[in-house]
Amino acid sequence: MASPVWFVSLVKRTFPQRFTLARLTKAPLLGGLLDRWLFGGDDIIYLPKDRVVKVAGEVSAGENVVLPSRVVEHFIEKANYHWIMNTCICRESSGCRDYPVDLGCLFLGEAAMGINPRLGRRVGKDEALEHLRRCREAGLFQLIGRNKLDTVWLNVKPGNRLLTICNCCPCCCLWKMIPVLSEDIGSKVHRMPGVEVRVTERCKGCGTCVKEGCFVQAIRMAGDRAVIGEECRGCGHCVEVCPHEAIELVLTDTAFMEDLVKRIATLVDVT
């Protein structure tokens, strides 16, 4: 049975306390239980915005380079079931004022049909693609993958038939809790394969990239230069906020899509 509206309202009220829950994942025994209950089998990938991606090397004028958004479009085209949530639970719970609250998650796969109809609606491929376009234009970026937490709070099954496509903002994203999660759980949220984030010689050491809030606190200042750590998930937010265009997100493997599509398809069936 789908989660009732009162339960979803409770989840929204407790959302600001997610960092407390995240810290509990580091506790002996309890952390393992939370991992299996809420994050078991997870594999979630950050997809940087197309407009912040640079392609390594020279690309001939007639060559078509596949960009990250194509991954989401592929699964929308393949899926038989598409579901758009009425609101983004993260932004609604946080009272977000910078990004649209009404641009919610997109779920694909048969399990999405078990979601409470008061929380969203089934749509066709065209409307799903239009929703994706609106999210991009609003400055949101996508995470895609299997996220067991969604099957829990929505109370839908099976987990291998629910593909989550989150439309995230830098201020309210659920996964801002990564720095306080256990390493085992945090490592289930990945950078897109073939992506590198680089600080160039144009860096002035202004610290804007740190002050503007890296999702996972992966940027620090070392003297008069920004340094990006291994924790970086490659979302590209730092590329957008740098006033000196000193950070680059480079796609080093233009054949990334085939491997990424296979990886996701082994986790979730959307047909």
pLDDT tens per residue across span 50-61? 999 988 865 544
pLDDT of residue 64: 66
pLDDT of residue 13: 92
Tell me the C-alpha distance between 46 and 49, whole Å. 10
What residues are paired with 144 via a beta bridge? 45, 165
CA angle at 251 for the pair 142 and 58, rounded to the nearest 5°: 140
Q: Is the pLDDT of residue 251 over 60?
A: yes
User: Using CB atoms within 10 A of its CB, is residue 221 exposed (0-12), middle (13-18) or buried (19+)?
Assistant: middle
Q: Is the peptide bond before 158 cis (omega within 30 degrees of 0)?
A: yes
Taking CA atoms, 253 is separated from 54, 69, 95, 189, 265, in Å, by: 11, 15, 38, 20, 20
* Mean per-residue pLDDT of the chain: 93
pLDDT tens per residue across span 154-187? 999 999 999 999 999 989 999 999 999 999 999 9
Count of C-beta atoms within a 10 Å radius of residue 77:
11
162 contacts 115 by C-beta, under 8 angstroms = no
pLDDT tens per residue across span 72-100? 999 999 999 999 999 999 999 999 999 99
Taking CA atoms, 120 is separated from 96, 154, 157, 225, in Å, by: 19, 11, 17, 45
Taking CA atoms, 174 is separated from 6, 24, 74, 147, 167, in Å, by: 20, 16, 25, 12, 11
Q: Is the pLDDT of residue 63 over 60?
A: no
pLDDT of residue 215: 84
Provide the 8-state DSSP code for 65.
Answer: P
